[in-house]
Amino acid sequence: MDNPSNENTEPVEGQDGQDGGARPRSRLRRSLSRWANSSDHHARELRRTVRESGLDSISEAPDRTVVRLSGSLRTVTLRPRGGVPALEAELFDGSGALTLVWLGRRQITGISPGRQLEVEGRIGVQDGVRVMYNPRYELRA
């Protein structure tokens, strides 16, 4: 019942202690690798900027204390909270992410994904997610 023509005869790396040769990387794998490297580079740059500015990093910022943070907006969405419009954005600084919420706002000029931002406010935790409501903000170049 064994049909030798259906067997995979291509050597596999590490099988029998032999190197079967490097397979060419697919275009998707190369693209993902470039994207991951650029994301890592972006995170390193954000962490460096936070360190140089003397601001708190998101991962080390204490809850329920007024903090100043800086980072890049990854997402911006409109999500009603209790029947009130709320603009939500995810701030990322290379060390962690924080959800920013502006209650009663459908949009804010200049608040868009990819934008650099410095915010000030108190961090709270809601449903296990760190959130800052109605932060003061300053757009960065």
Diameter of the chain measured on Cα atoms: 73
**CATH code, residues 51-139:** 2.40.50.140
CA dist 36 and 13 (Å) reads 24
pTM: 0.66
With tokens 């954005």, the residue in question is 89
CA distances from 141 to 15, 76, 131 (A): 53, 18, 24
Q: How many residues does the chain have?
A: 141
Q: Give the mean pLDDT of 107-128.
A: 95
Tell me: pLDDT of 109 over 90.
Answer: yes
Domain boundaries, the chain: 51-139
